[in-house]
């Protein structure tokens, strides 16, 4: 989208400032005119939903998002069409994405645990509902400060814009925009069927990024980065950072194995492995920041 929607009145919403833009579309702040409620409204890119078949698919998947009820999954309120644009409204986060947060803070294994615990809870719930996220990345993880506890509250966004496991898993050009090369599992790159372990791979890449401050695969282009997940050996954390704890290195290596069957079988089991690793560390190791850069 090139034309700003700020100031327009669309289907009972007064569109406010642009909050962000990405591969899927643009997010604006909006006012529900009838109730004065402030929400976020996301307009999907026209070229994604220009085909009537894709419009129907995204409309169905937005309805799936509306059916998800979990404290750590972004609440979806409403959806509809404005001309040829498909939109949905959601909770307006009073906070930031994990990607923005990580640009400002370096986290130790202990500091990241409360975020990981809530993220895994959302992911596990979605998986038990038969959904695969397919685009798990820090930009889809939102951090809001809980006013009562003053602790971070995590929301996972865009969960319903994945696919149900075992259904329509062909990687088409339109589907490809849902993935991000840095976090794509090898089977996603190759267009093979996806499972919950594809999400767990992306979670492993995120964990690698958080704990080491670098991506395991980062090439000159998105295409080369995507192919690196398939062709390049796993950069073992203890090989590139001699002080990185062995138990955490083993966890990360298992999380981003090339073959899905070699990864953790569930988000809950991956979290338990993280807890076990934390218990094996000394108090000082838990609080140490292991970033390779900066």
pLDDT above 90: residue 16: yes
Q: Is residue 293 part of a domain?
A: no
Q: Are residues 129 and 275 in the same domain?
A: yes
Q: Are residues 108 and 23 in the same domain?
A: no
Say what the pLDDT of residue 185 is. Answer: 96
Q: Are residues 116 and 204 in the same domain?
A: yes
Q: Is residue 4 part of a domain?
A: no
The residue from 47, 84, 135, 158 that is catalytic is 135
Q: Is residue 3 part of a domain?
A: no
Q: Locate all alpha helices (DSSP H) within the chain, ordered by sequence.
A: 46-49, 52-67, 98-104, 109-128, 173-176, 186-189, 196-212, 222-231, 237-240, 246-255, 267-280, 283-286
Which residues, other chains included, contact 1 with Cβ-Cβ below 8 Å and sequence gap of 6+?
21, 25, 26, 43, 45, 46, 85
As a three-state string, the secondary structure of 241-252 is: CCCCCHHHHHHH
Q: Is residue 80 part of a domain?
A: yes
Domain of 224, CATH number, reads 1.10.510.10
The range of the structural domain enclosing residue 221 comes to 95-286
Report pTM. Answer: 0.88
Residues 28, 38: contact at Cβ < 8 Å? no
Q: Are residues 80 and 134 in the same domain?
A: no
Q: Is the dihedral of CA 24, 30, 32, 38 positive or negative?
A: positive
Single out the residue in 66, 90, 114 at which a domain terminates: 90
Q: Are residues 232 and 168 in the same domain?
A: yes
Q: Is residue 2 part of a domain?
A: no
Q: What is the CA radius of gyration of the chain?
A: 19
Average pLDDT estimate for 189-197: 93
Q: Are residues 200 and 67 in the same domain?
A: no
pLDDT above 70: residue 92: yes
Tell me how many domains the chain contains. Answer: 2
Can you tell me the distance from the alpha carbon of 292 to that of 284, in angstroms, rounded to the nearest whole number? 18
Single out the residue in 37, 65, 90 at which a domain terminates: 90
Residues 163, 194: contact at Cβ < 8 Å? yes
Q: Are residues 72 and 146 in the same domain?
A: no
Q: Are residues 74 and 209 in the same domain?
A: no
**173 carries an active-site annotation:** no
| Helix/strand/coil for 47 | helix
Lowest mean per-residue pLDDT among 172-181, 209-218, 248-257, 259-268: 172-181
Q: Kindly report, residue by residue over 248-262, the tens digit of the pLDDT.
A: 999 999 999 999 999
pLDDT above 60: residue 176: no
Q: Is residue 85 part of a domain?
A: yes
Q: Are residues 167 and 250 in the same domain?
A: yes
């Amino acid at each position: 989208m090139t034309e700003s929607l700020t100031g327009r009145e669309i289907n009972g919403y007064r569109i406010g400032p642009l909050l962000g833009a990405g591969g899927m579309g643009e997010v604006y702040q909006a006012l529900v005119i009838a109730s004065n409620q402030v929400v976020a409204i996301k307009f999907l890119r026209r070229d994604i939903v220009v085909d009537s078949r894709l419009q129907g698919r995204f409309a169905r998947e937005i309805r799936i998002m509306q059916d998800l009820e979990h404290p750590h999954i972004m609440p979806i309120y409403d959806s509809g069409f404005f001309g040829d644009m498909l939109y949905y409204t959601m909770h307006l986060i009073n906070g930031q994405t994990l990607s923005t947060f990580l640009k400002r803070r370096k986290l130790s294994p202990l500091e990241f645990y409360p975020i990981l615990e809530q993220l895994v809870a959302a992911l596990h719930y979605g998986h038990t509902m038969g959904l695969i996220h397919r685009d798990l990345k820090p930009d889809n993880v939102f951090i809001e400060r809980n006013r009562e506890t003053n602790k971070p509250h995590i929301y996972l966004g865009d969960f319903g814009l994945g696919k149900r496991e075992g259904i329509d898993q062909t990687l088409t050009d339109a589907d490809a925009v849902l993935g991000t090369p840095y976090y794509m599992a090898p089977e996603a790159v190759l267009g093979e069927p996806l499972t919950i372990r594809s999400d767990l791979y992306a979670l492993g890449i995120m964990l690698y990024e958080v704990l080491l401050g670098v991506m395991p695969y980062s090439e000159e282009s998105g295409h080369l980065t995507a192919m690196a997940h398939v062709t390049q050996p796993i950069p073992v954390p203890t090989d590139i950072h001699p002080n990185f704890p062995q138990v955490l290195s083993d966890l990360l290596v298992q999380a981003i194995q090339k073959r899905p069957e070699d990864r953790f079988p569930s988000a809950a089991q991956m979290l338990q492995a993280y807890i076990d690793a934390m218990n094996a560390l000394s108090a000082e190791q838990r609080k140490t920041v292991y970033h390779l850069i900066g």
